[in-house]
Structures are given as structure tokens and as C-alpha cells.
Structure 1
């Protein structure tokens, strides 16, 4: 090998080792930098016999990276749910806790027991009213807390969408720079930054990343909706709601939805609803949407169902039907919107139920079965006071395939079988009390805002929705607690008839609507008001505990993956220092060759 060739070879080695030294120094300097991936040099022999750097390579484990992103989305989803459910559980407190809703129901029951023993005691009367007020206030506070959490989730959705858009914009800009760059070191650094932006996006939603070549990628949700492709990022939009209330709900049908959704829009103009049809499978945004639109509304329904049953247990009377030839005559005297007639009949050897609900707003018809506590009944909405009520009932029964005829009577409607295979077994009416005395023992103790009577009306919307936030004790009763026992102007002060009714109302089993999430979807929930209160508190405590366990478990999975990923793709300082020694030795050797060549050339020139 000639001297010039030796010099060229040593010089190329010097340049290569210098590049290696620079890379090692950069690796060590960024050992603690989040998202930094260790780099290494790929070299090959040059045509002249020396060595050259062919690539600056990122030491990345793509399989672990994909797995980590997937689990990070699941972890963010779980931790978000755990955080909100922990706050939700605190609103309900714990079973038998001093301030828990079930304890307050129990305290009210004890106060009514004392009232039944001493109905003429002003002390027991006042105590009973006070317990009722405390329970109503607790329901108000819990309801307001639930809606506050829904508002927080809605606000967090807006913030999350902003963060996602920033990440997508960053991915777009970095990808364009990566494709345009001819320097391996620059490309590798830009890829680290892009990975960080993708990781940030992956915590918000489930993503799938595909390498399209030339340094570019394609990013889509796991459901197939494109987030970034061919140098163009999609845009996410979300319209936040300034005041989330129980009446506001998300719907896949945009014309019915009263809450914002996340819309993805491509540069082509194509758009999609990410919350509809499972557009998002996981991530923080999915968790927030589920909390706002499903989990927290269910908690609100539990509170509303408890409040509604409190109002109706004390404020309504069940009137048994009168037997008539072939059927039953049900009273509708004094019926309010939301009051019902229930007809029991036997057909095909099976006992069935029809529930007729007094609805004066035709826009609310037809009704869905979920408005009653019986998941198996046939529900019919009709205006009891309409001149055509009997005909309307007959038409609805015929449409439902029920062989029963309705006929108007002096005080209601008579129901008789129109087919020999059908037997009308009986029935009853639920009538809401509107006055405090001289109309039976029932009284509107718990009322809606402004002392409005609560009857479960469906006119203009379901009165039950948000009722827990509005429930109050009738101001006439708070002003005069003696009304708790004075059911008649002629009743003696020591008469315990109404007090006994109040006691029984809390201790009698009732049916509760299935949207409260207790019981089976086909069987519903039956029990006392106290049992229902205790079970919804336990339900929330269990849900919170489960969410916490899932979050902690998922966090452990992510932590383990991060450790594995760091061991494969992170900087190992010990290894880098070993490389540094090797490179320094090679550098010295190449420098020594150059020095030797120089000395030999000098000797030749002097000869």
C-alpha cells in the first residue's frame, strides 16, 4: 500500500471515529432526555479501501414501541376513569357513612318511626322535617356534583382535542422535514421528535402507525379513520358546552344531540364523528366521552330515581280497581300528568301487564318502555282526560296485539277481554296527591322546584330527569311540621294514621327503573327505598374500587413496557463509555498512522 493510500485510509478512519465519538457524546448527553432514542453508526469499506459512514441508525424496537403506544392508550383510559369515579364515589360517600345518602334515608325512617309513636309531639314533627330537608339537600349536592363532573369531562374533551391537533400539526411538520432531509443525523433527531408527538397522540386515542417509506408514516385510529397521511394531517374539532345539565345528552343522531362530539375532518373535506359507532376505542378522549355520556348520566339516573320514589312513595296513592263483568274498572279521578293505570291480564297461560301513562303532550308519544319500572310491561301513553281517550287506548292495545277493550266510565276506564283466550285479572291506578290535608293520608312532602307537584310527568320531557337536583321539602310542611300528621281537619292531634303511612312508605318494596343500572335489564330492581339507596352507594363504591384496580394494573403494564423499551432503545451509559474507549483507541491508531506517514514523507523529501 502506498503512502498516499495509507494516508487516505487513516484519514477516513479518523473521520469515521470522530463521527462515532460525536455520536457517543450526543447519546450520553441525551441519556435522560424524554423520547431520545440511542443512535449508532453503520459503516462499510469505501471503494478506495478506507471506511465510510453509511447511516446513522436509531436503536429502536418497533414491536415494543407499538405495544407501548397501545397500552399507553389503555392506561390513559383507565386512569381517567379511575380519577372521575373516585370523585363520583365521594359524592355518594360510603355505605352507612355519617353523610351517605343511605344513612340519611335511614335517619328519615327512624324519624318517622318516632313520629308514629308520638304523632302530636312538636319535637318529633320538627325532627322528621329536618331529616327530610337534610336528605333533599344531600340529593341536591350529589346531583350538582355529578353534573360538575360531566362539565369537567366536557371541558377536558375540548382541551384534549386542542392537544391532539397540536400533536397532529407537529407530526405533519416534522414528517415533511424528515422526507426533505438528506442528513441521517438530522433525520434521526426529527424522528425522535415525531415519535414523541405520536406518543402524545396515542395517550389521547388509540392509533395505528404504518411506515410508508422515505421517512413518512400513516397514522389512523384502530377503527380505520385516518389522522395523518401523505403529508397532510386531519383536523379535530369539538364544540364545548358552557352549562352541562341532566337534560343534555349526546346522541349519534346529530339532530337529537345536545352535547358536542369530536369531528375529524380531512383536507379532502371528508368528515366523521369520532364518538359515533365506536370511532374511538381507547385513550383519554374515549374515557372522557364515556364518563360524560354514559357513566355519569347513569349516576344521575340513580339519584333521580331515588328522589322520584321518595316523592311518589309519600305523595301518591295506589287505588285498587273495582271488579266488573269480565274485567276491571280503574279510577282516574284527580289524575295528574305521569299518573298511571296498570292492567294485569293472562294470555297464553302467561300473566302480562299493560301500563297506561297519562300524557297530555302528543309530541311525547309513543312512549318507550323504559319510562316505567317494569321492564316487561307494555307501555301506552294517552291523555286520560281526552274525549277520545277510550278509542285511543283501544287503538294502542290493538296495535300491541292485546285483546282487551277499554270503555270510559263515570270515574275512569273499564278494561274487559275481547277474546275468550284472554282474562283480565285486575289492576290499579296510581294517583298523585296535590293537597296536604283532607284528601287521604298521602301528601306531597317532597316537591319539585317552586313547590311544584312531582307526579313523574312526561309532558315536555321526563320530570324525573334532574329531579335530584331540584327536590325539596314542601315549604308548607317546613313552615308547619304538624302537617306531617294532620291528614284531616277533623283528625285528632294524636292520630298516627298519616305517620304510619309514612313509615310504611319507606318500608314497602317498590320497583325502580332499569336505567339506574341496578338489577338485571330484564328483571329490574325491586326493594325498599332504603335498600335502593344503600345499593346505589355500594354500586358506586364498587365501581370506583374496580376502576382503581384496573388503572393500577394497567399502569404496572405500561411501566414494565417502558423499562423494556428503555433497555432496548434507550441510552446505556456503560455501553457508550465502552464504545468511547474503543473509538478513542481507534482514533489514536489512525492518528498514529497519519503521523507515521507524515514522518516517512518528510524522510523521503529530505533524502
Structure 2
């Protein structure tokens, strides 16, 4: 027997022993979370591959399965967060059809109006109307308050999640450095397991992608391409939370206007990236939190604000329609108050029809966010009515000119040049040969104050902004509609003296059911225009329905959104479970397979040992000669 055989057998024993050690480690860690099955390679050595050496310890997993697992982890965290909050929003309105639900409270109120119309002399009937109106306002107040409580909770959770994600980034960078400087294969594999676990945990907070480097490190990026970890360097994430949020709290890319927190990634070089901006994060709990705080919950607030506005405004506002002649529309704006809106549908230069909303104001003309009007897709501007009816035409012309200039500056199709003429409250709006005025309409609040129960009879300010402020949709100190759901209440003047509820006319206080019946019809039958910003009936155009119909639509929309979010989450959780199973099948330890490998290794070990035993016996015989 040659010495080469002895050397080969010895090397074989060492290689087999190392392989058995790896199998033993696999079996011992079969139930360890994050542990990836390992194998050891053997490398032929010596002349003519006469020997064998131990190669590198390799972690066995499917890279595509790991990538899918991280993607599904982010998706599952996103859908779970949305499903939780949308379910809570739905519960704010109560069980549809029940007496305590929002629609049930509204029905109780309208029923009491019918009873009052039938029994106008009943003090109890008047008291019931006011009591039921207060209960309705209170329920809207509570629901809107809860919406902002949810936003505040989401804001706090964003802070916690951001801190956790930042810690994970630091851990990943630290593990990268250790992996880069570790020569021991087993220790390196342990570190890689820890790093992959950290990356998987990070995926629950945000959508990420990874790029493995030749030195064993990994680079982590957001789905939008922002580098978070590069070898041993990591960006730090911070969240400047604003504590308790309210209806006016909103995100803005302008830090001076932003009134909610945002996620800022600070790179090792000092650069700052706003991850709270739209599209920066696309999945994970952080993306869901930002979407809920900045879109879903504000829309729920707007729906309640629109409902409150409908309750108050429909009982006080008259709709005035202009007379269209050829390419002009004449409209009488007598009695218009700050916050009332003049709407002019016009044809743009590209042939599309858009609404121009001009909101009456007591200040110089200013650009308005269209979302506070009924048509969030149109153009909006204020016009100054402080000079009185004789100045309305000039004020409207000034507003139209400013609106056209602002639209052109933003790259929108130019607003058609209109001409406003008139020396009284009657204003004529005229287009040009290439543009057409499709009409004109205005909402004009009839009562001059919350305590005015005669002007515009049977219009009445049953609901007010606070106890005695008339609701007109004013923009004088911010949009009055924003947060109105939290402030709507029953008119304090009516609580003190309910008699105007049953006045026969503006001058006759004799008890009559006509006004109560008018209020009932206005709320249940008359058509009222609600903002497209509420998302009810689509976002492309204002939505027209009765106030009670809108309330039902809001409840139905939130119920549908909750069901849809829950269904999406169930589907995503199944996808995550499938991805986990797929990855586990490639990376997990199969005890039966390991036992088979162990038997094969034992056989190989015994064979190598037998070669050495035979060599020993031969040497002993030689020494005995």
C-alpha cells in the first residue's frame, strides 16, 4: 500500500468528520428560527485528484424564494395595517340599520320632524326634534373625533416603526462589517443567518430590494431606489411626529406648511431624503401608515365634514341658476355671503368642460385649493364682495384673470377668457368665439345670522358652527368645512326658543307644520351637491343626492372599503404563507434527509478508517519481520 493511500484516507476522514459536524449542526438547529440549512463542499487535491480537502460551508436556499418572501412580507404588513384601521373606521358608524347607527340616528331625527309637522302645537314634539338633532350632531362629532384619534394613533405608530426600522438598518450594516472580516465559514454562515433575519424583519416595515456583493455583504435599497445600507454604512431614519393631529393637519412637501410628521433618511454623507413623500415607500407598515394618515382617514373626515355641511347648508342655502343666452349667462347674486360659491362650467381650449368655482370673500382675490369646493377637479378662486353689489362684476373679472394666470403658470390648459359685466348684484358672464359659457349657478345662504329665522323663510339655521355661528362655507379663517364635523351643533338660539321651528311664515309666528315638513323634505328628498373630494360616487365630479342618501352612501362606502381591505389582507396572508413554505422547503432542515446524509457519511468514515486500519496492520507485520 502506497503512502498516497494513507494520506488520501486521512484527508477523507477529516473531510467526512467536517461534513458530519455540519449535519449535526443542521439537526440541532432544525427548529431554530432563521437558521438556513448548510452543506460543506469537498475539493479534490493532490496529483491526479488523489486527495480531498474540506471546502467552504454553504447556506442552501432558493434566492428567488427569499426575494418573494420579502416582497410578500411587506405586502402582508401593508394589508394588515390597512385592514385594521378601515375596520375601525367602519365601526365608527355603527351597525347599518340599527337605531344607534349613524343612519338610524338620522332616521330618528327626520321621523321627529314628521311628527312635529303633524303636531306643531306640541311642545314635546319641538323638544324631540331638537333633542334628536343634538344626538345626530353629537354622533357626527364623536365619529369625526375618533377619525382624528385614529390619525394620531397612526402618527405615533409611524414613529415607533421608523425607530425600529432604523435600528434594523444599523444591525444589518454591523453584520455586514462582521461578515466582511470573518474568515471562519461557520461563523460567517451564522452572521449571514442573522443578517437575513434582520432584512426579513425590515421588509415588514417597507418594500426593499437587496444586492449581494462579492465580499459577502449586501446592499439594501427601498423599492423606489433609495440606498439604505451599503456594506458597513447605514442611513438613519427619523420621524418628527407632531403628537395629536386634527382635521387641518396635513402633509406637504414644503416643510413650512407640513403639519404632520415625515420619515427622513439621513445618509452617512449627510444627505436627507424625505421617505414620507408620495411614492417613496410603496409597501410595508410604514407605507400603509402614511397612506392611512394622509389619504384614507382624511377622506373619512371629509365625508363627515360633507355630511355636516349638507345638514347645515341644505337648510339655509338657496340655489340660484343663471339664464343662458347664446354664449353668456346672467345670474343674480343678491344676498351672497362670504363662503357662498358661484359655479361656472366652461369649455377649455382642449375641448373639455371644467368648472370654475368662485368663492365669495371679504378679502382680495386668492387661489383656492379646489378640494374645499364641490368639484376638486376644477379651478377655484375667491372674489371680493366687500365693496358691495355694484363691485361684484369687477371683483369676478379680477378673480377670473388671476385664475387664468395661475392655471397657465401651472401648465394647465388656459382657463377661457370670460368677461364679467354688471353694475348691480346681477352679473353677466360672457365667453368668446372659441370658448363657451355653459351656464352659471350659485349657492346663497338666506339667513344673515344664526339668530335670523325670517330671511328666506322657510330656510332656517337649525345646525350651526358651534352654538351660534352661521355655516356658509367661509374661507376667511381657513376653510370652514374642514373639521366642521367636529363642531356642528344645534343652534343655541333655537334651543333657547324653539318657536321658530313651527312659525307659519316670516311674519306670522302662529304654529304650523309647514317649516318642519320643509326641513324633512329638504333632508330626505331634495337633491344636494356634495364634494367629489369625499370619494362618494367617484372623484371625477360632484355627487348629487339627498342628505339622508349621502349618509347611507358614506356608511355603505366605509363598509365596502372595510370588507375589501379585509379580503385583500386574507389573500395577502395566504400569499405570505405560501412564500414562507416555499422558502422553508429550500432553506429548512429536513431531518429525514439529514439522517440519510449521516448514514452515508458514517459509511464513508468507516471506509476511510478501514483503509487506515489495514495500513496499520501491514506496518505491524513489516515491523515483526
Q: TM-score, normalised by structure 1?
A: 0.91
Question: How has the CA–CA distance of structure 1 residues 258 and 551 changed in structure 2, closer, same or farther, with 3 Å as cutoff?
Answer: same
Task: Give CA deviations for 1:28-63 in whole Å, capped at 9, x if unaligned.
Answer: 111111111000110123328443211101111111
Aligned to 1:524: 542
Q: Distance in 1 between matches of 2:445 and 2:488?
A: 19
Q: Distance in 1 between matches of 2:552 and 2:333?
A: 35
Give 1:284 shift.
Answer: 1.4
Q: 1:395 aligns with which of 382, 394, 398?
A: 398
Note the 1:268-279 alignment, pairs <5 A.
268-279=269-280
Q: Distance in 1 between matches of 2:440 and 2:155?
A: 49
Note the 1:38-437 alignment, pairs <5 A.
38-47=37-46, 49-318=50-319, 328=330, 330-333=332-335, 335-341=336-342, 355-362=357-364, 365-374=366-375, 379-386=380-387, 389-397=392-400, 399=404, 400-409=415-424, 412-415=425-428, 417=430, 430-433=444-447, 434=449, 435-437=451-453
Question: How has the CA–CA distance of structure 1 residues 463 and 115 changed in structure 2, closer, same or farther, with 3 Å as cutoff?
Answer: same
Question: How has the CA–CA distance of structure 1 residues 155 and 432 changed in structure 2, closer, same or farther, with 3 Å as cutoff?
Answer: farther
Unaligned runs of 5+ in 2: 405-414
Question: How has the CA–CA distance of structure 1 residues 537 and 55 changed in structure 2, closer, same or farther, with 3 Å as cutoff?
Answer: same
Task: Give CA deviations for 1:444-500 in whole Å, capped at 9, x if unaligned.
Answer: 211123432221111121111111111111233334444422476853543123212
Note the 1:443-458 alignment, pairs <5 A.
443-458=460-475
Mapped contact 2:464–2:489 kept (Cα < 8 A): yes
Q: Secondary structure at the match of 1:204?
A: coil
Aligned to 2:486: 469
Mapped contact 1:338–1:458 kept (Cα < 8 A): yes
Structure number with greater CO (CA < 8 Å, separation at least 6) is: 1
Give 1:254 shift.
Answer: 2.8
Give 1:285 shift.
Answer: 0.9
Aligned to 2:21: 22
Q: Distance in 1 between matches of 2:591 and 2:347?
A: 81
Question: How has the CA–CA distance of structure 1 residues 432 and 185 changed in structure 2, closer, same or farther, with 3 Å as cutoff?
Answer: farther
Q: Secondary structure at the match of 1:543?
A: helix
Q: 1:500 aligns with which of 503, 517, 520?
A: 517
Give 1:580 shift.
Answer: 1.8
Q: Distance in 2 between matches of 1:459 and 1:432?
A: 19
Q: Distance in 1 between matches of 2:443 and 2:567?
A: 47
Aligned to 1:541: 559
Mapped contact 2:453–2:461 kept (Cα < 8 A): no
Task: Give CA deviations for 1:112-132 in whole Å, capped at 9, x if unaligned.
Answer: 111111111122212211221
Give 1:146 shift.
Answer: 1.0
Mapped contact 2:374–2:533 kept (Cα < 8 A): no
Q: Secondary structure at the match of 2:33?
A: coil
Mapped contact 2:337–2:444 kept (Cα < 8 A): no
Q: Distance in 2 between matches of 1:343 and 1:293?
A: 30
Q: Distance in 2 between matches of 1:190 and 1:47?
A: 33
Q: Distance in 2 between matches of 1:514 and 1:472?
A: 24
Q: Secondary structure at the match of 2:92?
A: helix
Mapped contact 1:315–1:446 kept (Cα < 8 A): no
Mapped contact 1:346–1:425 kept (Cα < 8 A): no
Task: Give CA deviations for 1:273-316 in whole Å, capped at 9, x if unaligned.
Answer: 12325111222111111111011111110000000110111233
Task: Give CA deviations for 1:398-426 in whole Å, capped at 9, x if unaligned.
Answer: 555454433342xx344365879978977
Question: How has the CA–CA distance of structure 1 residues 418 and 145 changed in structure 2, closer, same or farther, with 3 Å as cutoff?
Answer: closer
Mapped contact 2:501–2:515 kept (Cα < 8 A): yes
Mapped contact 1:321–1:331 kept (Cα < 8 A): no
Task: Let me know the Cα RMSD of the aligned residues.
Answer: 3.0
Mapped contact 2:346–2:416 kept (Cα < 8 A): no
Q: Secondary structure at the match of 1:213?
A: coil
Aligned to 2:411: none
Unaligned runs of 5+ in 1: none
Mapped contact 1:92–1:101 kept (Cα < 8 A): yes
Mapped contact 2:359–2:382 kept (Cα < 8 A): yes
May I ask how many residue pairs the two structures share in their alignment? 601
Mapped contact 1:437–1:486 kept (Cα < 8 A): no
